[in-house]
């Protein structure tokens, strides 16, 4: 409540103070405006005091607002001799503040929307998508009308599951999502559909989710390490830059120009497209994807492609911001829930829009022994030139039991902590073909409203790898997944449990393999 009243009490105080300056020779009006100002500034003070946020941040915000409160009335007093001139100038100032400053005021304390300690993302219940439990692949040339008797028998409804743009490059257009009524016939339905001569494949449309994000306390402010050559204040919180030797990367990139500006697609809960540390690197896929109520997708986007060296927020591997861009494809609900169908459609859409790297910080336990639809989707996006990076998962189990981390052909990312131990929550990657590690504990990045927070998860490790692969693709657009993984693995550093995590990415050494 206090954070939402903050901008209105400020504007009221500013308007009253400006009027008080103008009418200071009119005792009656001056007294009224003085009372309004004092009431407004008192309310503003209460809002500032009660709003959630670090005290260092709150004092900087207060200083900013006091400078505006002190400067605007003085500047307006220049027009005091002409009433209409003063009114026009005041309206001009208030209009300017409305369009150029009010949004910043509104977002001064968005931390109030992110409870201390944990952002609760709704956990996926055991089971399937209640609106479409099965994914049915019909044989080439078969139509739904050909199995209408079975659909009618059980009261099933079916609709096309996937929408690839290039239908000649895949058989995913033969898939249908089948909604099974809530009754005891599900095993019979599954068995009968599987046995049909017209059926090529049948699998369950499983639900997946992102894990709850643990909010980490902020580190004390420290001087920015000059060896990185960046002025982003949040750099002091990016401990992973030391372990990944990002200064070596920047040395390798000096005077190296990209062949193209690679596009990284964050398949998640959406991304705050107007975030101060993302918007210069952001390109919109759809307006509906450019909002993030959960915060998860925005956090991932900042790790992969935050604007570096702009004096605000954090930095990414792209020091000069000419190597990568980032976009959002919303495949999860605001509560962090999705399905196999929604994720695959997101993969297809991102590839069809020209993405070079797909970053998927999501997943769940898989009950099917094979994930044929995911495999076909991966084949499709690979043909389009995409590399797919997936979180290993946060269950402290083997990633081979989690989808899409276990899909053959994705790069699966585990998380390490500040001591390069496997993070206590991170799934292991010895039984997936392309496992790699990145920092995933106390990861400081962007969240909606042009603010920042630290979270834990393989979700946070994944966009580090995606950001590096985007950089590598910008230098070699023809780089394949296998080629890229070979470079990451050969140049990676040992962790405390390399056998469980894979090797820790070393961006400088990896990029050296591309440019030398």
Distance between CA 20 and CA 4 in Å, rounded? 26
Catalytic residue IDs: 268, 296, 459
Residues 270 and 292: their CA atoms lie apart, in Å, by 5
Q: What does the block give as tokens for 257?
A: 């120009």
10 Å CB burial of residue 7 (0-12, 13-18, 19+) is buried
Residue 423 CA to residue 437 CA, distance in Å, equals 10
The token duo for 424 is: 């206590």
- Of 409, 320, 407, 312, residue with least CA distance to 362: 407
Residue 427 in tokens: 């799934």
| C-alpha neighbours within 13 Å on the C-beta side of residue 107 | 14
- Packing angle between helix 55-76 and helix 83-100, nearest 10 degrees? 150
Cα 434 from Cα 503, distance rounded (Å): 10
Residues in CB range of 223: below 8 A, 6 or more apart? 236
What is the token pair recorded at 21?
């300056």
* Pairing mode of beta strands 387-391, 157-160: unpaired
What sign has the CA pseudo-torsion 26, 27, 28, 31?
positive
Exposure of 351 by Cβ count < 10 A (0-12 exposed, 13-18 middle, 19+ buried)? buried
Sign of CA dihedral 16, 20, 23, 29: positive
- The Cα–Cα gap between 310 and 276 comes to 10
List the structure tokens of 16: 């009253």
Residue bearing tokens 């991304």: 271
**Rounded (5°) CA angle 406-410-411:** 100
3-state SS string for 482-499: HHHHHHHHHHCECCCCHH
Contact predicate 453/492, CB 8 Å: no
């Amino acid at each position: 409540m206090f954070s939402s009243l903050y901008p209105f009490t400020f504007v009221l105080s500013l308007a009253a103070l400006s009027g008080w300056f103008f009418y200071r020779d009119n005792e009656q009006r001056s007294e009224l405006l003085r009372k309004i100002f004092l009431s407004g500034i008192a309310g503003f003070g209460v809002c500032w005091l009660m709003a959630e946020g670090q005290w260092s941040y709150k004092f900087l915000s207060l200083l900013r607002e006091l400078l505006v409160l002190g400067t605007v009335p003085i500047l307006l007093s220049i027009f005091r001799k002409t009433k209409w001139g003063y009114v026009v100038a005041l309206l001009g100032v208030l209009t300017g503040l409305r369009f150029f400053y009010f949004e910043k005021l509104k977002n001064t304390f968005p931390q109030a929307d992110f409870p201390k300690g944990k952002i609760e993302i709704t956990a996926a219940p055991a089971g399937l998508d209640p609106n479409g439990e099965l994914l049915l692949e019909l044989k080439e040339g078969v139509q739904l009308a050909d199995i209408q008797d079975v659909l009618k028998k059980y009261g099933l409804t079916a609709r096309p599951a996937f929408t690839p743009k290039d239908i000649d490059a895949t058989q995913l257009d033969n898939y249908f999502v089948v909604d099974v009524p809530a009754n005891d016939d599900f095993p019979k339905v599954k068995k009968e559909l599987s046995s049909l001569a017209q059926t090529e494949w049948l699998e369950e449309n499983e639900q997946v989710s992102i894990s709850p994000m643990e909010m980490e306390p902020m580190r004390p402010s420290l001087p920015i390490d000059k060896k990185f050559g960046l002025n982003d204040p949040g750099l002091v919180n990016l401990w992973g830059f030391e372990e990944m030797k990002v200064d070596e990367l920047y040395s390798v990139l000096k005077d190296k120009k990209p062949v193209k500006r690679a596009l990284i697609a964050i398949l998640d809960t959406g991304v705050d497209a107007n975030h101060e540390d993302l918007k210069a690197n952001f390109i919109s896929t759809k307006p509906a994807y450019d909002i993030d109520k959960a915060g998860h997708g925005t956090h991932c986007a900042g790790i992969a492609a935050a604007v570096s060296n702009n004096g605000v927020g954090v930095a990414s591997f792209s020091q000069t911001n000419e190597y990568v861009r980032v976009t959002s494809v919303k495949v999860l609900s605001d509560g962090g829930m999705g399905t196999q169908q929604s994720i695959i459609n997101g993969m297809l859409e991102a590839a069809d829009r020209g993405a070079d790297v797909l970053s998927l910080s999501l997943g769940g336990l898989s009950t099917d022994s094979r994930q044929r639809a995911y495999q076909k989707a991966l084949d499709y996006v690979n043909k389009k030139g995409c590399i797919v990076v997936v979180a290993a998962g946060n269950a402290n189990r083997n990633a081979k039991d989690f989808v899409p981390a276990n899909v053959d052909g994705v790069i699966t990312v585990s998380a390490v902590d500040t001591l390069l131990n496997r993070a206590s929550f991170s799934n292991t990657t010895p039984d997936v073909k392309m496992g790699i590690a990145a920092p995933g504990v106390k990861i400081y990045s962007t969240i909606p409203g042009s603010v920042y927070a630290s979270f834990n998860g393989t979700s946070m490790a994944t966009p580090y790898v995606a950001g590096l692969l985007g950089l590598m693709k910008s230098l070699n657009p023809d780089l394949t997944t296998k080629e890229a993984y070979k470079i990451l693995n050969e140049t990676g550093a040992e962790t405390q449990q390399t056998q469980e995590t894979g090797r820790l990415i070393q961006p400088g050494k990896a990029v050296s393999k591309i440019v030398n």
